[in-house]
A and B are shown apart, each in its own frame.
Chain A
Amino acid sequence: MVTYREDGSSEVQLGQTRVMGIVTAQLVQPYRDRPKEGMLSIFTEFSPMADPSFEPGRPGELAVELGRIIDRGLRESRAVDTESLCILAGKFVWAVRIDIHILDNGGNLVDAANIAALAALLTFRRPECSLGGEDGQEVIVHPPEIREPLPLMVHHLPIAITFGFFSNESILLIDPTHNEEAVMNGRMTTTVNANGDICAIQKGGGEGVPQRVIMQCLQLATSKAASITKQIKDAVEAFNTERALRKIKRHPTSTGVDVREKQNQYTCNIPVSLEHFKSKTEVVITRTRKHYPLNMAA
């Protein structure tokens, strides 16, 4: 389930796992050796609210690994176009920061966090800016009320799919839950996109698996990636249409504003004459729980 509240923020529910992604951007000076490229950085917060074993403070190795997998999927596959983030070469570029907050650990945090990051990136809008000043060296950032903010250029969506291996029973699981993760022998995360390109594969130790099994995983991942990509895109579409509708109704005249209530939680009836237009888009991603027999012998 992917829900949106506002530009650049998303909340993903994958079974019992719940992850929130927030995207913000800032104008900074680019790296010296890459003056024409913007920056993309990912911060993962394994909040202690997700799991009693998560410690607050410095990210543990799981958090770092998760951040690295998502980072590799986005940055090295050039999913987000960093050159379009450059405003003034060598002086001003946009640094996009993705914060991933893990709210509830029901297993398979990598996949959920990846979807949250992608969804937030797709709905993020950065302010439009133009060059000005006497010599064209100053950057003027236009506030969103004056000029419509622009979306990021995202070429493709790398989707991470995690598999778990159980060698004793020769079982391959896709999308392990928290209990399954505790007992599985090995894990592998593949990041593929809907075009069938492999963006990243991460298999860190654990039980050794034959090549055949890896190929099987990749094929499964490619088919899953297509359906997940479609779901993300549908949710983004729905959000964009509601956003466009909201913009039309936003015009001043404080009387006669749309009185529609969109609260799917319990609300009190403290009298309010005018309501904010709130929208929630929902897409259900059913948690896939399939077992595939491995043929380990032979």
Chain B
Amino acid sequence: MEVDREDGRSQNQLRPLACSRNILHRAHGSASWSQGDTKVLAAVYGPKAGTKKNENPEKACIEVIWKPKTGQIGKLEKEYEMILKRTLQSICILTVNPNTTTSVMIQVVNDDGALLPSAINAACMALVDAGIPMRHLAVSISCCVARSGVSGLVILDPTKLEEQKMKAFAYLVFPNSVHSVLPEGSPSVQGEPIENGIITSVTHGTMSVDDYFYCLERGRAASTKLSDFLRRNLQQQPTNSSKAG
């Protein structure tokens, strides 16, 4: 069952990905991530001394600032900041540097659909560039439900137009796939490999439970490809020596 997409992609095809690290000079870590026409720039400063008022001083704190392309900062930006903060808190090892704050700044350069997933991917790359200790990386993908019911159809990486036309879409974040050198294989939780876990899921619109599970399957499969892309990219570019503030 094929669906006609405007740019001619098939339902499981992602847009061309491009990523570069260490593009800013003052920031401790920076990365730019683009999926098709959506482009996001992320910068990381940290760890800095002290935590905010209501935060736990026994752990590191992550602060996210989201800057839209144009216009005032509103509720949507605050929501993105919160989602990003919680996602990053779950992948960073917070006990390594207690009582410190790591700031992550996101600047939207262009928004053509899948903005939050691009931002999460960019933030993850920037954290690696800055050398913040993390348990594993996060890869994020967006899927939308084109048709529901028996002939359920889920398409990956929708553009802005597609997001607006479709019934519902979901942004999913998974841990990246693990290549283990240990004899016992990759770590697993309750019998399932760790990469099947979902870190974050944000949905818009209504979809049936089956559609959602179908989205998860597709997202999981695509995230393996994204993990490979991330791994190749990170292996190619060695991080430069640290920058003093």
Contacts and interface: CB of A to CB of B under 8 A. Distances in A.
Nearest to B237: A266
B233 to A, nearest CB: 6
Contact of B107 (A5, A52, A103, A106): A103
A276 B39 CA distance: 14
Contact of B25 (A104, A254, A261, A265): A104
Contacts, number: 111
Contact of B45 (A45, A52, A178, A257): A52
B110 A49 contact: no
A173 B9 CA distance: 54
A272 interface: yes
B13 A101 contact: no
Nearest to A5: B110
B12 to A, nearest CB: 10
Nearest to A254: B8
Interface in A248-273: 254-255, 257, 261, 263, 265-268, 270-273
Interface in A238-297: 254-255, 257, 261, 263, 265-268, 270-276
B196 interface: no
B16 A52 contact: no
Contact of B69 (A99, A106, A266, A271): A99
Interface residues of A, number: 40
Contacts of A266: 18-20, 232-233, 236-237
A48 interface: yes
Interface in A44-66: 45, 47-52, 56
B98 interface: no
Interface in A21-58: 22, 24, 45, 47-52, 56
A103 B24 contact: yes
A255 B109 contact: no
Contacts of A255: 8
B221 interface: no
Given A270-B229, A273-B8, A52 B18 contact: no
Contacts of B237: 266
A274 B30 contact: no
Interface string A78-105: 0000000000000000000101010111
B15 interface: yes
Interface in B85-110: 103, 105, 107, 109-110
12 contacts: A24-B70, A47-B107, A49-B27, A49-B41, A50-B24, A52-B48, A99-B71, A104-B24, A105-B26, A267-B17, A273-B9, A274-B7
Interface of B: 4, 6-10, 13-20, 24-27, 30, 32, 36-37, 39, 41, 43, 45, 48, 65, 67, 69-71, 103, 105, 107, 109-110, 225, 228-229, 232-233, 236-237, 245
